[in-house]
Amino acid sequence: MASSSAIIAWGAGEDGQLGIGNNEEKEWACVIKALESEKVRSVVAGSRNSLAICEDGKLFTWGWNQRGTLGHPPETKTENIPSQVKALANVKIVQAAIGGWHCLAVDDQGRAYAWGGNEYGQCGEEPERKDDTGKPLRRDIVIPQRCAPKLVVRQVAAGGTHSVVLTREGHVWTWGQPWPPGDIKQISVPVRVQGLESVRLIAPRSQPIPVQGLSGLTLVDIAAGGWHSNALTDEGEVYGWGRGEHGRLGFGDNDKSSKMVPQRVQLLAWEDIVQVSCGGTHSVALTRDGRIFSFYNQMMASLLDSLGEVIMDVLGMEGKSLQVNQWKYPLTSHLQLI
């Protein structure tokens, strides 16, 4: 987002996620003309869809909509021009997130909303419904609806098939499917988790549960990736949990095991971290003085290394935040600086 509030986009566009009126790929930055009349305060780029939040609280979405990820019924599979989410027109949205194929948002009153794919309860609804014959039906949430209604939410983060929220009291809650179904072979069993060695399946949950292991900490930021999550304290401490292969948790080459309970990323202990972000198989942390630390697999290494000089130039001049989403295409991921 440029200082004049012009919204620019580039990269893969086969689902209309660039918002420029066509489904073409763009190597050079293009202005999203449909948003020129709006005062946009923030944007979020997913792998197949995007959204923008305006200063007056309006929410615009565009891109892939086959699962209802744009917040209205999917009359077409893709939409290449931003349109307002009418279901949220009467509330002021202040922050939002894009997951694998669901979205989350929070308004100025601390109410959270969810829409899109819900096969693992990631939108806060029971995932399995049955028709008249008793056959299970997949139920996507095509119109935004309240989720985590008992919580007063400050921030939302959407993972591959799970959701995470940070409340105004500083607590972290999660629901959905935080782990590949049936796959817990990589788990490093923490002492605090009893009986985990006998578990064969981590069942999805449609209702929020508190994340254990973060009590007593003052949390200021959260992020959710494909199968992992991060949390940041007011003292710049980064905690990670979830799947650990590819080094996405940042615990070093000697520890790529998965964590069921948040653990501090000791390799960042001497850094003043102000923001964290997660992609599908990598994580990124931003320091107060504009430096970026990333933990990722080798496929992401060449991408981030090639962008390093550009990133530092932008952050050094006027960059305030960093968002990295990578869900489907490891080497053509959106990397957005605000």
- Locate 174 and state its tokens: 């999660």
Contact call for residues 193 and 201 (beta carbons, < 8 A): no
pLDDT grade for 249, boundaries at 50, 70 and 90: confident
Among the ranges given (76-85, 99-108, 185-194, 291-300), the one the predictor scored with the smallest mean pLDDT: 185-194
Sequence-distant (6+) residues with CB within 8 A of 298 are: none
pLDDT value of position 1: 52
Average pLDDT of the residues in 300-317:
42
List domains and CATH numbers for the chain: 1-147 (2.130.10.30), 179-338 (no CATH)
Higher pLDDT, 32 or 247: 32
Nearest of 235, 242, 319 to residue 283 by alpha carbon: 242
Residue 185 pLDDT > 80: no
Label residues 283-310 b or e (16+ Cβ within 10 Å = b): bbbbbeebebbbbbeeebeebbeeeeee
Residue 74 pLDDT exceeds 60: yes
Q: Which of 127, 157, 335 is nearest to 241 (CA)?
A: 157
pLDDT of residue 41: 95
User: Which pLDDT belongs to residue 336?
Assistant: 39
On average, the pLDDT of the chain sits at: 80
The segment with the largest mean pLDDT, out of 223-232, 242-251, 329-338, is 223-232
Provide the sign of the torsion angle of the four alpha carbons 244, 246, 247, 253, taken in this order.
Answer: positive
pLDDT tens track for 99-116: 999 999 999 999 999 999
**At 335, is the pLDDT very low, low, confident or very high (cuts 50, 70, 90)?**
very low
Read off the pLDDT of each residue in 145-159 and give the average, rounded to a whole number: 97
- Say what the pLDDT of residue 322 is: 55
Q: CA 71 to CA 142: how far, in whole Å?
A: 6
160-183 pLDDT per residue, tens: 999 999 999 999 999 998 776 555
Left (φ > 0), alpha (ψ -120 to 50) or beta: where does 242 sit?
Answer: left
pTM above 0.85, yes or no: no
Among 105-114, 141-150, 290-299, name the one with the lowest average pLDDT: 290-299
